[in-house]
Amino acid sequence: MEIQKGYKFRIYPTKEQEIFLSNQFGGVRFIYNYFLNRRKEEYLINKKSSSYYKDAKYLTELKQQDGYEWMNNIDSQALQQSLRHLDTAYNMFFREICDFPQFKRRSNNQSFTTTQGFGIEDNILYIPKLKTLIKITQDRELPSKPVSVTISKTSSGKYYASFTCKFEQEPLPKSENKIGIDLGIKELVITSNGDHFTNPKLTKQFQKELTHKQRKLSKKKERIEKGELIIQLRYKAEWAGRTFYQISTWFPSSKTCNDCHYIMDKLPLNIRTWICPNCHTEHDRDINAAKNILEKGLKDLEDLKNDQKISNKIEKSGLGTKSDLKQKLVESPTSVSKKLKKSSKQVGVKKQEISDSFQK
């Protein structure tokens, strides 16, 4: 399968090149902020939200206006990518993945992305609009010709080039190994095998320095980090030819005894170990949750497989449509299967009558 992967290397621009990069950073930052403000004003006035294509069309017009001639010194692809980043930020906000887009500041990390006119060879990088070559430390070969490069500068003054490559990835050999993962509070990951993985970004010293307001911000950051972890687990599993399945958030994995499946009424977060009142098994809260997640995930996947088999039977028999399958949720797979066999033996039964039988 074709995958997309990033490779990041340190670059060492000269003083003159730093000035050039600073102008590029400022140009894309200006465009991002300009169109963010324009979108906000358009919504306040017309109650409508713009799109990337509308913004890109207006950007072409903006370049031709007096006072904006300086944009001709900025890589046009970088300006277009800035609009794409803004559009992505809006889409993620409306999907409730992140907060509303904020204006970019010069004091934050700076970056711009270009998709044409760049290359890397023998530890030398060339990019559009820059006539000189930038020194780069390339510690490994790229798997394919990169489709884009992002030049960035950290708040500490270091410069990097991140290349995005597309290439074919061979899946790993088949394996029967299965594991459940619980995302914890004190620790980032706890597995059904009993392994614990701490979050390297949240050190004890940092936790001690947190004030009340900072703790609120830390919880928000923790949610973002967990969301990013899930995204990476999902696509890396896909790369390796593995199945990744996320169970429902509302499943009581911590409160359910993995031995007898007794469910506790309450289990406060400060309780890290507990004894089941039904079978008297002592549980580590997080490991027990990971085991239940594994068990629940395997059951859900098996149910999905059975649902697909029933769906295929419905389609092959001509007794209904895929929409009928949705209504079988009120019945067990066994009862639906029996109805199928019974209905298929009846001669002259109308398709609509069978569809009605699923609705009852």
Condensed to tens digits (0 to 9), the pLDDT of residues 145-201 reads 999 999 999 999 999 999 999 988 888 888 889 999 998 877 889 999 999 888 665
Q: Cα–Cα distances in Å, from 238 out to 4, 79, 177, 301, 308?
A: 12, 32, 15, 16, 21
For the record, the structure tokens of 319 come out as: 């007794």
For the record, the structure tokens of 10 come out as: 């340190």
In this prediction, residue 360 has a pLDDT band, given cuts at 50, 70 and 90, of very low
Which pLDDT value is given to residue 255? 95
Q: Which residue has the higher pLDDT, 8 or 316?
A: 8
Which pLDDT value is given to residue 346? 39
* DSSP single-letter state for residue 328: G
| Strongest mean pLDDT among 93-102, 157-166, 208-217 | 157-166
The predicted model scores a pTM of 0.61
Which pLDDT value is given to residue 85? 94
Which pLDDT value is given to residue 333? 41
For the chain, the average pLDDT equals: 82
Per-residue pLDDT, averaged over 247-258, amounts to: 93
Which pLDDT value is given to residue 235? 83
Q: Which residue has the higher pLDDT, 319 or 275?
A: 275
Which pLDDT value is given to residue 3? 86
- Please report which residue ranges of the chain form alpha helices under DSSP H: 15-46, 52-63, 76-94, 204-209, 212-239, 285-317, 322-326, 333-345, 351-359
With 50 as the cut, is the pLDDT of residue 245 above it?
A: yes
Each residue of 18-73: pLDDT tens digit?
A: 999 999 999 999 999 999 999 999 989 988 888 999 999 999 999 999 999 999 99
Residue 201 has phi, psi (to 5 degrees) of: -85, -20
Per-residue pLDDT, averaged over 135-148, amounts to: 94
List the one residue out of 81, 63, 61 whose CA is nearest residue 72: 63
| Strongest mean pLDDT among 118-127, 167-176, 208-217, 317-326 | 118-127
In this prediction, residue 317 has a pLDDT band, given cuts at 50, 70 and 90, of low
